[in-house]
Amino acid sequence: MSAAEGPLVVGVDSSTQSTKALVVDASTGRVVASGQAPHTVSSGAGRESDPREWWDALCEALRQCGEAAHEAAAVSVGGQQHGLVTLDGRGEPVRPALLWNDVRSAPQARRLTEELGGAKVWAERTGSVPAASFTVTKWAWLTEHEPEAVRATKAVRLPHDYLTERLTGQGTTDRGDASGTGWWASRTESYDEAILAHVGLDPALLPRVVRPGEIAGTVRDSHDLPFSKGTLVAPGTGDNAAAAMGLGVRPGVPVMSLGTSGTVYAISRRRPADPSGTVAGFADAHGDWLPLACTLNCTLAVDRVAALLGLDREAVEPGTAVTLLPYLDGERTPNLPDASGLLHGLRHDTTAGQLLQAAYDGAVHSLLGALDLVLDEDADPSEPLLLIGGGARGTAWQQTVRRLSGRPVQVPEAAELVALGAAAQAAGLLTGEDPAAVARRWGTAAGPVLDPVERDEETLSRIAGVLSDAAPLLERSTDTH
């Protein structure tokens, strides 16, 4: 490892399946060390993880980074959004965390929307309409189903808050992650005490919201992490806001992230409020807004279809009139939490490769349907769509997005953008820069641009028609648990 030109910083990405850590040269953006460790997620009706596994994975990922992590001057944690972490008086988890893709709280989401004035009121108040992924609906579910856990809870945190607090000993969050809870008012940028009272959550149980550029705390010495005592800890943020920082995204540039979940988002100067609930009006991590639409079924669902067919994920074939809606975990966009996968148009001559292409088409259709709602009206339609996440490297994903969007598609070469965004936030603490400006200085969005092709309106129209006609089926629960 050659000597770094500037101070070292650590960026962390604690995602659904694993935790990654990067040690980055704050001057150049060069990654000088990295580490990764997995954690487990329950299967079945719920999606849960033990937060202590996230901590153990962080420790292991940092151990793999070696001495470079110990030399870091600042650290920041990006984490999966929406997860409900309940802690007792000793800071230990009361129960496993309810994750973003746990959709058991869909009835509570519908009920809360109705009880507090309807979708338009919620959108104006919090920027978003409650969905089963949101933290407020999970708290309502827990109150209803596990009141003893609620009584034992002395602190409520999000996933990135939990890890930051174990570093600093202080309960903090940031505006980006707080905006995905459903109890943070986007107009006033503060916790909404009326919503909290309605769901029976004492505001004293919540973390302090740290402002952009503010120091969340310093690393305490009563732990075994390879950081020096007093190392600066940045506010951290949710994974999508961290990735936006990691790209140095400017307003109006569309981003599509292909991971376990799929997202489309853009930076906006305007506070979003979509009463349809399609677009979540999130805050970003440095003072602007991050209107975002999310699907539950993306790369994992398509890979599952490929496995069922016994195919490699790239073994797609064109020329199909078959439609596959890969809603294997229910769906958030469109809002169909009880849905399952649906196949329509199967013929004797349909091939396995065509079925797999139909799964890609179905997943991308959901994301593109929300893209126009995410972008401001004056956004440039010729601006390349930044394609990121694990799926962005796949040829089948790239070509499907290109064909169905009709846009140029740019694939940044930088990997681990959530961790890079967290690192840029940590670097900003040291230099006084906007983290997005740090990322632009690092050149993180650089990568090949695929020219636009004619938009495949026929496929888009066919999928939309099947989705509309099948609505009664998709709204019907198939859960037999």
Residue positions annotated with a catalytic role: 239
Give the C-alpha separation, 252 to 381, whole Å: 9
Structure tokens at 250: 């400017």
Give the C-alpha separation, 401 to 457, whole Å: 13
Give the C-alpha separation, 177 to 78, whole Å: 9
129 phi and psi angles, rounded to 5 deg: -100, 130
Burial of 86 (0-12, 13-18, 19+ CB in 10 A): buried
Give the C-alpha separation, 36 to 14, whole Å: 10
For 30-58, give the DSSP string.
-EEEEEEEE-----SS--EE-HHHHHHHH
In contact, 267 and 288? CB cutoff 8 Å: yes
Q: Is 304 helix (H, G, I), strand (E, B) or coil?
A: helix
Give the C-alpha separation, 35 to 335, whole Å: 36
Give the C-alpha separation, 73 to 23, whole Å: 10
12 phi and psi angles, rounded to 5 deg: -115, 140
In contact, 327 and 336? CB cutoff 8 Å: yes
E strands, 223-368, are: 232-233, 237-238, 255-258, 262-265, 280-283, 289-295, 323-325, 342-344
Q: Which residues pair with 22 in a beta bridge?
A: 11, 34
